Chains A and B, each alone.
Chain A
Amino acid sequence: MSCWEIVADYAFRSLGYGERLLPRSDFTLCQQVVLIGSGMIWNVYFGAVALVAGFALATLVALGKAARSPWLRKPSEWFVFVFRGSPLFIQFFFAYFFFLSLKQSVPALDPLTSAPVGAALVLFLNTAGYSAEIFHGALRSVPRGEVEAAEAYGLTGWPRFRRIVWPTMLRLAWPAYTNEAIFLFHATTLVFLSGFPAAGQKGDALYYASYFADQTFNPFVPYPILALYFIALTLVIVAIFGAVNRSLNRHLPAARRPARPRFLPQIVR
Chain B
Amino acid sequence: MFAYCSDPQVLDGLAWLSCYLTTGKHMAIYWAVGTVLLLLAITGPAALLFGFGGAVAARSPVAPLSWLGRGYIAIVRGVPDIAFFLFFVIALDQGLEYLRHLALCPDWDQPVRQGSDFLVCPQAKLPLSSAPQWQHEVYGFALAVLTFAIVFGAFAANVLHGAMRAVPRAQIETAEAYGMTPRQTFRRIVVPQMWIYALPGLGNLWMVLVKATPLLFLLGVEDIVYWARELGGTKTPQFTDYPHGDWRMWYFLALLVFYLGLTRVSEIGLERLMIRLSRGQATLGGAAQGGVR
Residues of A within 8 A of B (CB): 25, 27, 81-82, 84-91, 93-94, 97-98, 100-101, 126, 130, 176, 179-180, 183, 186-187, 189-190, 193, 206, 209-210, 213, 215-220, 223, 226-227, 230-231, 234, 266-269
Contact = CB atoms under 8 A, between A and B. Distances in A.
Nearest to A180: B289
Interface stretch (B6-14, B40-48, B249-257): B249-257
Contact of B86 (A27, A210, A217, A267): A210
Interface in B273-290: 288-290
- Chain B's interface size range is 35 or more
Contacts of A179: 289
A268 B229 CA distance: 39
B83 interface: yes
Contacts of B215: 89
Query: At the interface, is chain B mostly helix, strand, loop or mixed?
Result: helix
B254 to A, nearest CB: 10
Interface string B138-165: 0000000000000000000010000000
A215 B78 CA distance: 26
A230 B87 CA distance: 15
26 contacts: A84-B263, A86-B260, A86-B263, A90-B214, A90-B252, A93-B225, A93-B255, A94-B256, A130-B293, A183-B291, A183-B293, A186-B81, A186-B82, A189-B80, A193-B82, A213-B87, A213-B90, A215-B116, A217-B117, A218-B113, A219-B91, A230-B79, A230-B80, A231-B79, A266-B288, A266-B289
Interface stretch (B68-76, B100-108, B167-175): B68-76
A86 B211 contact: yes
Interface in B30-87: 70, 73-75, 77-83, 86-87
DSSP class of A's interface residues: helix, strand, loop or mixed?
Answer: helix
Contacts, number: 135
A236 B78 CA distance: 12
Given A93-B255, A187-B80, A227-B79, 18 more contacts: A87-B259, A87-B293, A89-B214, A90-B259, A93-B228, A93-B248, A94-B253, A179-B289, A186-B81, A186-B82, A187-B293, A193-B82, A218-B118, A219-B87, A227-B78, A230-B80, A266-B77, A267-B78
